[in-house]
Structure 1
Amino acid sequence: MRGWMRDLTDLALPTECGGCGSPPAVLCARCRALLERAEPRRVRPVPEPPGLPAVYAAAPYAREVRALLLAHKERGALALTGALGAALAGAVWAGLGPGRGGAESRAGPVILVPVPSARRAVRRRGHDPVRRMAVVAAGRLRRAGVPARVAGVLRQRRPVVDQAGLDARRRRENLAGALEVRAGGAQLLAGGRIVLVDDLITTGASLAEAARALRAAAGTRWEPDMPVYRGATREGREERQTGPRAQRGKSVHGAPEKGTVNIIGSAVRAAVIAAPRDSFE
């Protein structure tokens, strides 16, 4: 069933709560409060994979929150997108730190980059859950005074196996080199504060691989809290391409610069809705 048909069905036929199963609302007041009252914090999986950016999560991945994410992702409960997207916006906001929507916004917009799902998974589900939530999160941030947009610039360059049941090492091996930035995607990121977004972090392998793909597109190596891009940009809609002005000078190695420099103005961050309880700082 296509996404818009599911949306109409959810509106016309309210069902049980996706979190606790209580009727008749698709999200009961108690489960909504779990998301709205969440206090996003920094999370660190153990072991922490190399290259993992600073990650902020809204809530522990347990019971009702787990059920809500699964209902949205696997059962097409699209009426949950708004509440989940708002929780994601809270995690993004926490990760931006001081100057979230004030002076720091002059450095460029907040650009939410969804971690892509496998194409076969999107076809099976009939929608891309992370991208849906990212669009809602960007809207919430804009209403809070933070210039934000979504840039779906990542894609899978090779198939990967289902991550379920894999330990941390095997997940890293499964995802190594699996993502890349689409042609022209770096221009959509130039000058922005980049935040990778996903619904969940477990071992951190997916977010680490997504960050690696961004750094590879920029031709940089990973260092803790290392800036990836730096440049000017003009704001626009998600579908509108933006890019940096040509800059001349020296590269990080001191060689003369021959073309446009695409370097993000601050370190890559990451935000998710949920994380294992023992990973919260």
Structure 2
Amino acid sequence: MKLFQYCAVMLFSIGLMACAPSQINNHQPVTSHFNAVNPTLNIKTLFKEVHADAVFVTFDGKSLNEYGTNLNRADTAYIPASTFKIVNALIGLQHEKANTQEVFKWDGKPKFIKSWERDMTLAEAMQASAVPVYQTLARRTGLPLMQKELERIGYGNMQVCAQVDQFWLKGPLTITPNEQVKFLYQLGKGQLAFKPEVQQKVKEMLYVESRGESRLYAKSGWGMDVDPQVGWYVGFVEKANGQVVSFALNMQIKDGDDVNLRKQLTLDALDKLGVFHYL
């Protein structure tokens, strides 16, 4: 953990920018002490070594698998935090509240993360996990349509509040890791109740990197306005043959180290499961 403690300050903002490819290229596994034939033990050991209260869920369209140190989290509902940007983009593009070429202007005011202080497209804001851009999109959608769409697609508990730009950050909207992977699997296969071209555009926003013929798509989330704080890293891997395996890491966030661990734990877990190998 000393390395993570040293890096916590320097990588704080990078921890929020879940999809940036530069965060992956030089990544090394958190641990090397694994049983080669027991992925369940491997992942539990991985999480234990960094004292993570976490669950990792995968779904291939048939089998739902849960790993980690706290499997109860798999069916426990949490705020989606910035993983909701996926749904926000789907709804906004479906109803033409924005398009992929539009540039959202920075208002010139200081933001929580320095990298948010610039003009961005929806794709760039997805990569940077820029909350203000997606709050603007949600305000354009409006509460009535947002509520209707969440009910139409059955996302989480489908609850919004009076503030259309806060309900995924502070509640009342919640979703379980098991619900996340089923939703993301459908996105990976293009089977959601949205136009195919809309699903493809949002999918492209989530692209992280390729390894061999496998492609990784992902989004992070950090619920810092709830107690205890919650961290997410969710997405799917697409194989050359069209096979999709979706995943969701859900963990309690206790400090800056945990923020930076979300992505690393996910990549290590995907490698140990044989879903997305290190090259």
TM-score, normalised with respect to structure 2: 0.26
More helix by share: 2
Q: Which structure has the bigger radius of gyration?
A: 1
